[in-house]
Structure 1
Amino acid sequence: MHLLVGPTGHITHAGPTIAKLRAEQSLIGQRFLEVFAINRPRAVASMQDLAANVRKKLHLELRDARRTSLKGIMVPLPEDPDSMILNLSFGISIVDAVRDYSLTNADFAATDLAIEMLYLVEAKTAAMAASRRLNMSLQGAKIAAEEQAFTDTLTGLKNRRAMDTVLARMIAGGGSFAVMHIDLDYFKAVNDTLGHAAGDHVLQEVARIMVDETRESDTVARVGGDEFTVILPNIAGYQTLQRVGERIIERLEVPVPFQGQECRISASIGTVWIRAGTPAQAEEVLADADVALYASKRAGRAQQTFYAPELRRAANAEGPPAGRDSRAG
């Protein structure tokens, strides 16, 4: 960017880039000091003062509303020492100038350091955009990995790790909640007679039914081959739990069709209700739900049993329960 200033202090020529800064009116013919304010050196108030500071760095700004800052050096013209040529640059304000005046690299000489600064700014902008995209991608991958770590791949339900996390949160919160252990009756027979593909299909159908019969705030988890756990927060009484259990048992007794065959199962449920403010430990809550589940199995299956201390005493008197294989049948 450059200007020519005549002996009277009037601008006699303006380069195309500086002209863009005052596109609404021509700079030619205007008094230099009426267009530009000299901030440094502070003593410059006239053309005589300006002539005394040739070849010195000047700090200027346009007097219009944008107050664009510039830097420059003024030197006499060799063929006309009474006239001055002023070489201008934006300095560190180049980014604002490019934005405010829609400048491009065509507005600067190839050797102008402004080009290097523009390249650096462009490179920084591109790097920051790439960094944001990478961060978003990593964040998405992290969320997906965390979700996968807490999800049972076959049914899409939560897994045991997720169930443990939710149960710990329920206990720490001190509110009322319930835990249902649900074990499928006769599931082993489905696998043995119709194959594992049929068993997988049944498990997926069971998962869908359990989600249908519980609330969005409830957690349904598959914690074993044919074992499920439901955690239900904010439970006011046994009636709610009784209705949920009855609906699950009723729907799971409906045969599940698979490749022209019918898969027949049922469900046994053991339920523990923890009242608000009751101290609890996760291991004890799960153990109590398991005791109640075994009581349902021993009572004939396809029913729900609520935990009570006498169930544990009865279970201890009868000895350890049968293994998982016999219970699954």
Structure 2
Amino acid sequence: MMEQNDLATLLETLCPMFLLLNKDGEIQQVGPTLQKLRPDLQMTGMRFLDLFELLRPRNVSTVPALMSMAGTKVHLKFHDEPRTALKGLVAPLPTGNGAVINLSFGISILDAVRDYALTSADFSGTDLAIELLYLVEAKSAAMEASRSLNLRLQGAMLAAEEQAVTDTLTGLRNRRAMDHVLEHLIASKLPFALMHLDLDFFKLVNDRFGHAAGDQVLKVASQIMLDETRRDDTIARVGGDEFVLILKGLVDPKILARIAERLISRLQEPISFQGASCEISASIGIALSTQFQVPKVSEVLHAADLALYEAKRSGRSCSCFYSVPSNAQL
């Protein structure tokens, strides 16, 4: 006949969360994993019902009733915190001197693994809990990989969208972005001013100092335009040395004239490049959306072009406003 010590050794291997009770309900032996849940508590010698609260079956409240439940599933919790939920199966000993209760975490296994830092070594090798843990771990890894991939795809998409509307040299908006902004402002019936700015003598810089110098001039000029406008304004490079500035909600000619003056003044300052002094100026044509009964993108751009040509005919380094022809119905 198997001795109790041999039984305990066997149970530790096959059922690491077992309890061996005597006929009075005192705990004689505790599985290593179950002891790990209360590492500082000496469970051996305690009464089972002092350690656990039986939740189901509800009519079981005594040790004799518990011992008579051969093959019955029980649901219980620790009396103290954390009140981990457990499920068990009662197996009375053939000698009638006690019972073995084999416990498991059931649906609360994930919380238990986290709360008690359990590993696969804490479970029986045939316990389906191990497979569940592997599945959860694999699912978590797959979800994390999917989330990471989605973030990278979203980032790549945003970067592609940004690149599609950005001038690569200056970082300003490009013509596509300009058209989108103008169409939105017109559709929203929001007033705006449009400045068409052309860099004078830019070709001379390229011819004299090379394209690298020209690129530097374009970058500095772009930064000046950003400095002299608001965050909500749009600045687009629409040609080699041509720029369009869209100033949302600003149609006051006096304010616009002052902005143009500041731009022209700052762009006249020499720009250094590898010891060379690159000198340019700027001509600006200005058109207002309010000059049109029903503004169209092409009409406002054409009006600013006409004003720019007038500024160049006036000697460059100046700005001109578009004048509505008196005999035209726009």
Q: Quickly name the TM-score band, shorter chain normalised.
A: 0.7 to 0.9
1:23-43 alpha-carbon deviations (Å, 9 max, x no partner): 443222222233223333333
Distance 2:155 2:291 in 1: 37
Q: What CA distance in whole angstroms lies between the structure 2 residues aligned with 1:101 and 1:58?
A: 22
Matched residue type, 1:41: P
Q: Which deviates the most, 236-245 or 18-27?
A: 18-27
Distance 2:327 2:225 in 1: 27
Cα deviation for residue 246 of structure 1 reads 1.1
Secondary structure in structure 1 of the residue aligned to 2:96: strand
Distance 1:18 1:276 in 2: 84
SS at match of 1:136: helix
Question: 1:236-251 maps to which residues of 2 (within 5 A)?
Answer: 237-251=252-266
Residue equivalent to 2:196 = 181
Identity %: 54
Which ranges of structure 2 fall in alignment gaps of 5 or more residues? 1-16
Matched, 1:294 2:300: no
C-alpha contact (below 8 Å) 1:176/1:276 kept by paired residues: no
Matched, 1:19 2:30: no
Structure 2 counterpart of 1:72, one-letter code: G
Distance of 1:152 and 1:128 partners within structure 2: 37
CA distance in 2, matches of 1:229, 1:147: 19
Correspondence for 1:118: 133
Structure 2 counterpart of 1:218, from 213, 233, 251: 233
Structure 1 position 241, deviation (Å): 0.8
CA distance in 2, matches of 1:22, 1:198: 75
RMSD between aligned residues = 2.6
Aligned partner of residue 180 in structure 1, secondary structure = strand
Native 8 Å contact 2:291 2:324 kept in 1: no
Separation of aligned partners in 2, 1:76 and 1:178: 91
Q: Residue 174 of structure 1 contacts residue 277 of structure 1 at CA under 8 Å; is this kept in 2?
A: no
Query: Residue 163 of structure 1 contacts residue 219 of structure 1 at CA under 8 Å; is this kept in 2?
Result: yes
1:269–1:312 Cα change, 3 Å:
farther
Match of 1:104 in 2: 119
- 1:88-109 CA-to-partner distances (Å, cap 9, x unmatched) read 1101101111222333333223
Asked if structure 1 preserves the Cα contact closer than 8 Å seen for 2:272 and 2:278, the reply is yes
In structure 2, do the counterparts of structure 1 residues 132 and 30 end up closer, same or farther at CA, with 3 Å as the change threshold?
same
Is residue 318 of structure 2 the alignment partner of residue 306 of structure 1?
Answer: no
Any unmatched runs of 5+ in structure 1? 314-329
For 1:293 and 1:312, the matched residues in 2 are separated by 21
Partner of 1:300: helix, strand, or coil?
Answer: coil
